[in-house]
């Protein structure tokens, strides 16, 4: 175990996907879609669903354990744990304290962050700032069990969403090229209602006569979502690179939110990023919202061989519309 004196910034990666693999054919048959319909429109071939006895903290746990082990730090040095999720175990209390308990972290606080698909980037930005200010390590976990929030009869959401978890450990940088180099976090409430779960909140609380579908996720305005996502992610990435005094060609690895291959390809083209710089797990694992970026970072780690000096560009947009771009130095 080290005291993170020899390296800093984002130093550990972890991921977890449930065992149950759900191929497109299963969904296409249920929804009476033609063979290949889902992959042609989304780039997704399959996704993972949690087992009935798995809770949110159950899938977050192995990803967090892997990140801590990969970081090689003493777990007592983790001062806070941030859990980015849209599917907590309960509405109250938050799930992060339970995750901290399961991990056995004696000195860690714990709090949930609900930022939809961009939640990990917000949590990462907070972690970077806290690590620098307090001189402590921060565990950032993003996890979702979206299979339990899908309306099985709504095509738009059912073909996309999945269950997974990803995690990173953030420590104080040891030199100026580590940690977050530039960031842009934004929201646009004009599109607040396009992706939502309408029931269960304060504005639409539980009623005995409530239609069960009100507790399920709904996605509408697909073309609007697509256009807004492409424009926002492109503009945000250019803003962040400009802040850092860099060009797209200076990026070593681009990790976009794994929402839809058409969105990823369009933004990549706009930025002029070569496809070999793009991390992709969408095809086999689908869209697990906030979890997709840390999941992809970890899943692709050995293949990509991150090295000191690499610059990672992280991009996401989701319900709200909450969005962000973060440039990280390794």
Q: What distance in Å separates the CA atoms of residue 294 and residue 20, rounded to the nearest whole number?
A: 20
| pLDDT tens, position by position, 107-156 | 999 999 999 999 999 999 999 999 999 999 999 999 999 999 999 989 99
pLDDT of residue 196: 87
Q: What distance in Å separates the CA atoms of residue 217 and residue 318, rounded to the nearest whole number?
A: 13
Inter-residue contact 165 to 60 (CB < 8 Å): yes
Residue 34 has pLDDT above 70, yes or no: yes
Cα 182 versus chain centre, distance = 18
Q: What distance in Å separates the CA atoms of residue 322 and residue 317, rounded to the nearest whole number?
A: 6
| pLDDT tens, position by position, 71-106 | 999 999 999 999 999 999 999 999 999 999 999 999
Task: Confirm or reject CATH 3.40.50.150 for domain 179-329, answering yes or no.
Answer: no
Provide the token pair at 308: 């000191």
Work out the angle at residue 320's Cα, subtended by the Cα atoms of residues 316 and 325, and round it to the nearest 5 degrees.
25
Residue at token pair 């802040």? 243
Q: Which residues pair with 312 in a beta bridge?
A: 253, 328
- 322-329 and 311-318 as β-strands: parallel, antiparallel, unpaired? antiparallel
Mean pLDDT over 307-316 rounds to: 96
pLDDT of residue 250: 97
Residue 2 has pLDDT above 60, yes or no: no
Cα 294 versus chain centre, distance = 6
Do 179-329 and 9-171 fall under one CATH topology? yes
**Domain ranges for the chain:** 9-171, 179-329
Q: At what angle do helices 292-299 and 56-71 cross, to 10 degrees?
A: 40
| From 215-224, 265-274, 308-317, the region with the lowest mean pLDDT | 215-224
pTM of the model: 0.95
Q: What distance in Å separates the CA atoms of residue 41 and residue 39, rounded to the nearest whole number?
A: 5
Residue 170 belongs to what H/E stretch?
strand 163-171
Residue 19 has pLDDT above 50, yes or no: yes
For domain 9-171, the CATH class is alpha beta
| pLDDT tens, position by position, 190-225 | 989 888 888 889 999 989 998 888 989 888 888 899
pLDDT of residue 6: 61
Provide the annotated active-site residues.
117, 257, 287
Residue 274: pLDDT band (50, 70, 90) is confident
Residue 312: what are its φ and ψ, rounded to 5°?
A: -110, 125
- 311-318 and 253-256 as β-strands: parallel, antiparallel, unpaired? parallel
Residue 26: pLDDT band (50, 70, 90) is very high
pLDDT of residue 113: 97
Residue 258 has pLDDT above 70, yes or no: yes
pLDDT of residue 4: 47
Work out the angle at residue 140's Cα, subtended by the Cα atoms of residues 3 and 254, and round it to the nearest 5 degrees.
100
């Amino acid at each position: 175990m080290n005291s993170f004196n020899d390296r800093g910034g984002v130093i550990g990666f972890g991921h977890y996907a449930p065992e149950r693999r759900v191929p497109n054919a299963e969904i296409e048959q249920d929804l009476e879609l033609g063979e290949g319909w889902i992959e042609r429109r989304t780039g997704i071939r399959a996704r993972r669903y949690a087992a009935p006895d798995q809770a949110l903290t159950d899938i977050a746990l192995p990803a967090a354990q892997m990140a801590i082990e990969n970081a090689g730090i003493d777990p007592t040095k983790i001062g806070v744990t941030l859990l980015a999720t849209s599917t907590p175990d309960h509405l109250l209390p938050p799930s992060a304290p339970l995750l901290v308990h399961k991990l056995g972290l004696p000195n860690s606080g714990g709090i949930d962050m609900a930022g939809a698909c961009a939640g990990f980037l917000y949590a990462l930005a907070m972690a970077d700032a806290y690590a620098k200010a307090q001189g402590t390590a921060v565990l950032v976990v993003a996890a979702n069990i979206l299979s339990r929030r899908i309306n099985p009869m709504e095509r738009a959401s059912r073909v996309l969403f999945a269950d997974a978890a990803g995690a990173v450990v953030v420590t104080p940088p040891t030199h100026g090229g580590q940690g977050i180099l530039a960031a842009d976090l934004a929201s646009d409430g004009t599109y607040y209602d396009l992706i939502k779960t309408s029931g269960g909140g304060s504005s639409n609380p539980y009623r005995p006569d409530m239609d069960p579908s009100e507790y399920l996720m709904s996605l509408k305005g697909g073309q609007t979502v697509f256009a807004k996502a492409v424009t926002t992610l492109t503009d945000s990435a250019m803003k962040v690179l400009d802040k850092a005094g860099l060009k797209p060609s200076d990026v070593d690895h681009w990790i976009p939110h794994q929402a839809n291959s058409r969105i990823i390809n369009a933004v990549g083209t706009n930025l002029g990023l070569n496809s070999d710089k793009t991390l992709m797990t969408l095809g086999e694992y689908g869209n697990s919202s906030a979890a997709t970026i840390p999941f992809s970072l970890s899943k692709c780690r050995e293949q990509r061989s991150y090295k000191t000096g690499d610059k990672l560009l992280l991009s996401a947009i989701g319900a709200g519309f909450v969005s962000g771009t973060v440039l990280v130095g390794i």
